Structure formats: structure tokens, C-alpha cells
A and B are shown apart, each in its own frame.
Chain A
């Protein structure tokens, strides 16, 4: 089944403790992206990647890192999480063209205390 898999679904952590949210897609998509969703703000892009070893900042990249060493994986790294990073995170992939719809993972709800 074609899908984008994010893990974990729920994560509670403390300020400053490094964490990684994994994202994997099995559709051989070139494009991958991370979004955060916050009430009243909609979906905002954190980082995106057009292909392996190619990543770029989205609208809200501060406090996040990503890497794209393999086509299928695009982990999101929070080196030193803070409470303002408490949010619902979505990973997404697309085949690459600008007319391609995004396929989303099921989301990761992160709480930083």
C-alpha cells in the first residue's frame, strides 16, 4: 500500500531533550516536506526536500533540522525542543511536479513541557 509513515504518533518530551521524528514513503517520490499545524495558523511548512541531499527552508525552519540521505526517508530533528514547538507535525511527499498532490502521513502530536 502506498503510504507515508511517520513515527511516533504521539510524543511527550521535556525542554532541551533532543528528539527525532521519522518519516518514510514507499512511493519513490522525489519531493518531501514537513509541516506543523497549529490552531488558527493552519499548516506551515518547516523544511522541504526536492531530492536526495537537497533540502531547503520553508516558512518556519527555526529550531528544526532535516536530512535526506535516502530518497524514502526524511527525518525531522529537534536538537533542543522548546514549549513553542508543541504542535501537530505532518510529513508529506509528492512525485515532484508542481501539480502533484501531497500525500500526508498520519501526523505526530508533539508536546514539549
Chain B
């Protein structure tokens, strides 16, 4: 089991550019979560999917953020246009039993300059 796979590990981009983060959940997991972590705000849930369907995107900070899950093995989080305040570590996590906790990916460290 390769775990939750995220790419890229690091992304440095200029303000105004589009950024796409990718995630492959653990095979068989039916829930997928996107989190953002900063020193100031800790771990924040952005959006989660259940069986590829977005359930709650109330944590998405604004319309510049969008997420898709076209199939059970792939999800993307897109920021367009990016801003310096979007700089953070973005984690993807998946779960097959909600009460049994998550498995997190290794994260994408995003820096917007």
C-alpha cells in the first residue's frame, strides 16, 4: 500500500498564476479530504468528497479555490489566481471508515511570491 500520494511536494509560483495540486487516495477508501495547514490557523478542512461527490466545500476560502474528484483514484485542488496568502502546506487525506481516522498524504508546500 503506497498510502495517499500527493504531487508536487513543493510548488513555488508567482502571484496570479494557476496552481493545481493532485492527490491519489488509498485504494478502497471512499472519502477524501483536502486540508490546509498554517502556523496561524492550524489545520483547516477545505472540502471533502464521499464516493467522488463533494459533500461540503464550506471551508473553501473563496471562489479562487476549486476541487474536483473525477474518479475514485484522483482528486485535484486548483487555485486560480494564486495569492501570497495562499502560501501553506496543503494535505490530502483519505478514509474508509469515518470513525477510524484518516491517512494523510505527505503534503504539498505551496509558496506564492
Is the A/B pair a real complex? Answer: no
Q: A residues bordering B, Cβ < 8 Å?
A: none
